[in-house]
Structure 1
Amino acid sequence: MKVYEVTLEAEERQRLHEMLAAGKSAARKLAHAHILLKADAAEGGPAWPDARIAEAFGVSVATVERVRRRFVEQGLDAALDRKRRGRPAREPKLDGRAEATLVALACSAPPDGRKRWTMQLLADRLVELRIVDAISDETVRVALKKTKIKPWLTERWCIPPEANAEFVAAMEDVLDVYRRPYDERRPLVCLDEASKQLVGEAAAPIPAAPGRPERVDYEYVRNGTTSLFMVAEPLLGWRAVKVTGRRTAKDFAEVVRWLVEDVHEEAEKVVLVMDNLNTHKLASLYEAFPPERARRIVRKLEVHHTPKHGSWLNVAEIELSVLSRQCLDRRIETREELERQVAAWEEARNEQGVGVRWRFTTADARMKLRRLYPTL
């Protein structure tokens, strides 16, 4: 006769059957439910021997014995759940002072000869400073995770100068332009440009296959560079990309002429937002066209320049960023292929009508960017 005999009540048996039918519990818990049902020695129960239960459900005989014992001594819930063994509490490796030192180190310049701090470098430095006797890189990683510090990560950002009247004047001018409602007689157009190097493959890539990513040879062939002029109308959700072979004043002038004479021929004024690139000047029109035509184009322009180190204020730069991530972040060999890929991206994005809702206002700037204002 078994020392710990399982005899299930009707309610307990029903609960186990419902649990198995639902199948939503942990695998271990379901296995224990099977064990209890097959070990049930109540009237009409199967009362299987331990060896048969173990063989049927792929567990050891010792496991079956433990489940029966916990059921008899502690009840159904204890038999279904894994026994939790208490662990003695351990002193944290890093106290408050040590964590503060670690954070200060992670935010400081790395040692000579290293580009950035690594977890192991930080662990070694804590030992050198006698903050701790020994510590693993994993403990350092967990400690830094709490403070959301990532020594290996660097973000590139346009950092504006502090207390700079020229910056805030240009910023508020552009922000006021973005608050204007749409007017077909004075369409808002944002313009920016970027370069793209044409790169060919030195060896044919190996396509991806199950269990293997695409393989691309690290060698490549340079085929020159091109310029991409991004024209975006944020209120209409429309953009156009012009690919040119060079980045000159005449190339810029031709894009502006196309905007004024072809795209918005009927408009009274074209409100043009752009950055301070050396070619983004009205003088470029006079380098490309006779003075009469250049002046006619200038009269139809209302130009607003974003501040230096404030290119994030240009919606066209946002569109260029999207274009780069979605389309250009790969090797493209020829200008013809680049034009084809860019045209496909442009068509799809225009069909979706992706617009921009500019929410950052002058009031926001005066509150959130107080340090940029000389008098605030």
Structure 2
Amino acid sequence: MANRPAAALVLRVGDRERLVRLARSSSGRAGLAQRARIVLLAAAGEAHTVMAERVGVSRPTVIGWRERYAERGLAGLDDEPRSGRPRVVDRRKIVAETLKPPPKRLGVTHWSSQLMAARLGVSNGTVAKAWRDYGVQPWRVETFKFSTDPEWVAKVTDVVGLYLAPPDNAIVLCVDEKSQVQALDRTQPVLPMQPGLAERRTHDYVRHGTTTLFAALEIATGTVTAAVKPRHRHQEFLAFLKQVAKAYPDDELRLVMDNYAAHKRPEIRTWLAANPRIQVHFTPTSGSWLNLVEVWFGIIERQAIRRGSFNAVRDLNTKIRALIDGWNDRCHPFVWTKTADQILRRANRQTTSNTDH
């Protein structure tokens, strides 16, 4: 008797099509789709127990929604207004809690939306929206290093002044070395790009040694004087400086360099003293990003090294030289845009912000 079909529920005119759409909808509320299924099964004359099993709810729930439809039609399937004041989520509290480190018992380095939602008793969607609105991104991390150079202001002003107003009678060259460039060879041949397919290569590789790339970038033209050498000691650096001097035999040179120990060896200072037409301008400690040749190193890394496959250091050196030759055929000036005051103001803001925290 328990499974005896109840009298078929009579649907109101035009409701069947709307109920079918609601029951099949994947974008609407799940509860509303479930209630529409109950009403459709009731209209087919199914027993209450069978409907409960098919829909995955209790028998009283089936009876309740059947009666709600019978009394009020489709409007009866909507949620009743809840009594009491609507819950208000304090998004500022979500952000404030996110800025605190997670408890050690969780064993994590930063919050996820799921962990924060569980901590505050809200949905992870609510947490994610608060993060978006306030620009909080716990999953991201960036690096920084403040310069402790006592001559920070003077060196920034000096180097940036060279970029923005280079001397009329001198050529400005940015000099540095890119050390430990690895000759990596893939374990299988690279599969070339095809329509609809990106270039593919194996994830593993074989190391065949390293090389060091020395470069001097002429900012006015973008021309690069370069050399590849097996090591990057002061001996190799001095040999490269002599190569640069030979490339510009009659010009006054202003060299922008960082504070690497090899750049300040007595042998280097002695040679520079014997060649007064060449003057050095050092970037601040931890301020090598002021050296424009670093931008060029990034270009050569992306265009020739990162995706390359080299079966020996000699092969790597050959391809680097080929890129340099090609670069010098199409080079362009490197233009610095920030003034020294803009850089110093931003550095002061960052330092102040870090101290406040």
- Normalising by structure 1, we get a TM-score of 0.61
Amino acid at match of 1:187: I
Pairs within 5 Å for 1:339-354? 339-354=317-332
Match of 2:258 among 263, 270, 275: 275
> Separation in 1 of the partners of 2:150 and 2:103?
38
Match of 1:176 among 161, 177, 185: 161
Q: Is 1:356 the equivalent of 2:334?
A: yes
> Separation in 2 of the partners of 1:177 and 1:187?
10
Shift of 1:106: 4.0
Shift of 1:201: 1.9
1:214 to 1:295, Cα distance in 2 relative to 1, 3 A: closer
Q: Which moved more, 1:359-368 or 1:238-247?
A: 359-368
Residue 50 of structure 1: aligned partner: none
> Separation in 2 of the partners of 1:352 and 1:111?
55
Residue 235 of structure 1: aligned partner: 220
Amino acid at match of 1:166: E
Match of 2:282 among 305, 323, 327: 305
User: Aligned to 2:317, what secondary structure does the other structure show?
Assistant: helix
Provide Cα deviations, 1:337-374, integer angstroms capped at 9, x if missing partner. 32333234333433333212222223334543346999
> Separation in 2 of the partners of 1:240 and 1:298?
19
Q: Tell me if structure 2 keeps the 8 A contact 1:165–1:373.
A: no
Residue 35 of structure 1: aligned partner: none
Pairs within 5 Å for 1:172-211? 172-181=157-166, 183=168, 185-195=169-179, 196-209=181-194
Match of 1:135 among 103, 123, 131: 123
Pairs within 5 Å for 1:31-110? 95=89, 97=90, 99-109=91-101
Residue 316 of structure 1: aligned partner: 293
Provide Cα deviations, 1:32-61, integer angstroms capped at 9, x if missing partner. xxxxxxxxxxxxxxxxxxxxxxxxxxxxxx
1:209 to 1:264, Cα distance in 2 relative to 1, 3 A: closer
User: Aligned to 1:172, what secondary structure does the other structure show?
Assistant: helix
> Separation in 2 of the partners of 1:324 and 1:92?
57
1:370 to 1:352, Cα distance in 2 relative to 1, 3 A: same
Shift of 1:115: 6.2
Provide Cα deviations, 1:133-156, integer angstroms capped at 9, x if missing partner. x413x4433332223333222223
Structure 2 unaligned spans of 5+: 1-78, 353-357
Percent identity of equivalent pairs: 26
Residue 251 of structure 1: aligned partner: 236
User: Aligned to 1:223, what secondary structure does the other structure show?
Assistant: strand
Q: Tell me if structure 1 keeps the 8 A contact 2:212–2:229.
A: yes
- Normalising by structure 2, we get a TM-score of 0.64
Provide Cα deviations, 1:276-304, integer angstroms capped at 9, x if missing partner. 00111252448xxxx7xx36754232111
Q: Tell me if structure 1 keeps the 8 A contact 2:116–2:127.
A: no
Residue 110 of structure 2: aligned partner: 117
Residue 165 of structure 1: aligned partner: 150
Shift of 1:238: 1.5
Count of residues paired in the alignment: 270
Q: Tell me if structure 2 keeps the 8 A contact 1:252–1:280.
A: yes
Q: Which moved more, 1:191-200 or 1:101-110?
A: 101-110
Match of 1:151 among 138, 141, 149: 138
Residue 48 of structure 2: aligned partner: none
Residue 55 of structure 2: aligned partner: none
Provide Cα deviations, 1:4-46, integer angstroms capped at 9, x if missing partner. xxxxxxxxxxxxxxxxxxxxxxxxxxxxxxxxxxxxxxxxxxx
> Separation in 2 of the partners of 1:156 and 1:205?
33
1:140 to 1:187, Cα distance in 2 relative to 1, 3 A: same
> Separation in 2 of the partners of 1:176 and 1:216?
45
Shift of 1:265: 0.5
Structure 1 unaligned spans of 5+: 1-86
> Separation in 2 of the partners of 1:309 and 1:92?
54
Provide Cα deviations, 1:228-286, integer angstroms capped at 9, x if missing partner. 112111112222332211111111111111111x211011x311110000111252448
Amino acid at match of 2:264: K
Q: Tell me if structure 2 keeps the 8 A contact 1:170–1:306.
A: yes
1:316 to 1:284, Cα distance in 2 relative to 1, 3 A: farther
Q: Tell me if structure 2 keeps the 8 A contact 1:110–1:117.
A: yes
Match of 1:330 among 307, 313, 325: 307
User: Aligned to 1:187, what secondary structure does the other structure show?
Assistant: strand
Residue 248 of structure 2: aligned partner: 264
> Separation in 1 of the partners of 2:343 and 2:218?
23
1:349 to 1:108, Cα distance in 2 relative to 1, 3 A: farther
1:295 to 1:156, Cα distance in 2 relative to 1, 3 A: closer
